[in-house]
Amino acid sequence: MRFREEKLQRIHTAQLLTYMRLAEMNTGLLINFNVEILKTGIKRFVL
């Protein structure tokens, strides 16, 4: 079976940053579950 990895788009980042600002949170995680190794699909953002 062939695995196709999808990349996170800029809209996903923008949405996370908006939620972080509205919730007054300093850090957030953007997780892509559509990767072979989950560790490679995690991005951390800090305001």
CB 33 within 8 A of CB 5: no
Residues 11-40 have pLDDT tens digits of 999 999 999 999 999 999 999 998 889 999
- pTM for this predicted structure: 0.78
Phi/psi region, residue 11 (left: phi>0; alpha: psi -120 to 50; beta: rest), is: alpha
Q: What is the DSSP letter of 44?
A: E
C-alpha 37/C-alpha 47 separation (Å) is 26
Higher pLDDT, 29 or 6: 29
pLDDT band at 4 (very low <50, low <70, confident <90, very high): low
